[in-house]
Structure 1
Amino acid sequence: RALAALPYEGFIVDGELVVPDEAGRPSFQRLQNRAKVSRALDVRRGAVESPAVLYVFDVLAFGGYDLRPLPLERRKPLLEQIVPRVGPIKYLSHFEKDGEALYEQVVKLGLEGVVAKKADSPYRAGRSPNWLKIRADRTDDFVVVGFTRPKGSRSGFGALDLGAYENGKLVYAGRVGSGFTAAQLKEVSAVLERGVRPAPAFSGPVPQDPGHTWVEPALVVEVRYKEWTDEGLLRQPVFVRFRDDKPVTEIAKKGEGRGERDVEVPPESTSPISPLPREVKFSNLEKVFWPDEGYTKGDLIEYYRAVSQWMLPYLADRPLVLTRFPDGITGKSFFQKDAPEYAQAFVRTVTIWSEDSQRELDYFVCDDQSSLLYIANMAAILLHVWSSRVATLEAPDWCILDLDPKEAPFTDVVTVAKRVRALCDDIGLPTGIKTSGSTGLHVLIPLGRQVTYEQSRTLGGLLARVIAAELPEIATVTRQVQKRDGKVYLDYVQNGHGRLLVAPFSARPLPGAPVSMPLAWSEVTPKLDIRKFTIVNAPARMKKLKDDPLRAVLEGKPDLVSALEKLHARLG
Structure 2
Amino acid sequence: MKKLSEYNRKRDFDKTKEPEGKVKKSGKELHFVVQKHDASRLHYDWRLEINGVLVSWAVPKGPIADTSVKRLAMHVEDHPMDYIDFEGTIPKGQYGGGTVMVWDTGTYLAEGSDDVAESEKMLRKMHKDGNIKVVMHGKKLKGSYHLVRMSGKEDEWLLLKGKDEYADKREFDQHSVLTGRTLEEIENDNKSEVWQSNREEKKSFHGDVDHILDEEPEKSSQSQSKSKSKPTAKKKTKATEKTETLTSTKNSPTFTAEDVAAAKVRKTFPKEWKPQLATLADAIFDSDEWVFENKYDGYRALIQIHKGKVELVSRNSLSFNSKYKELVEAFSIIKDDMILDGEIVVEDEKGLSHFQWLQYFAENPNRGKLKCYVFDILYFNGYDLTSLELLQRKRILEAVLPQTDEIIYSGHIAGEGTKAMKEAEAKGTEGLIAKKITSHYHVNKRSKEWLKIKVTKEQEMVIGGFTEPKGSRSGFGSLLLGYYEGNDLIYTGKVGTGFNEDSLKDMYEKLTALVQKTSPFKVKPREPKVHWIKPELVAQIKYSEWTETNSLRHPVFIALRTDKKPKDVKKEIATPTDKVVPEEKGKKEVKKTKAIEKAEESTITKTSAKAKEKPADETKTGTPKAKTVTKKKSKTGKPGWDTEKVEVTHPEKVFWPKEGYTKGDVINYYDEMAKWILPYIKDRPQSMRRTPNGIDHEGFFQKNVAGSAPDWAQTEKIHSDSTDEDIEYLICNDKETLIYMANLGCIEINPWSSRLGSLDNPDYIIFDLDPNETTMENLVTTAKKVKEILDTLGIKGYLKTSGGKGLHIFIPIKPKYTYEQSRDFSHIISQAVNNALPKITSLERMPKKRIGKVYLDFLQNGKGKTMSCAYSLRPRDGATASTPLEWEELDEKNFTVKNYNIKTLPERVKEKGDLWEDFFDNAVDLKELLDKLG
TM-score, structure 2 as length reference: 0.31
Larger relative contact order (Cα-Cα within 8 Å, sequence gap ≥ 6): 1
Q: Which structure shows the higher helix fraction?
A: 1
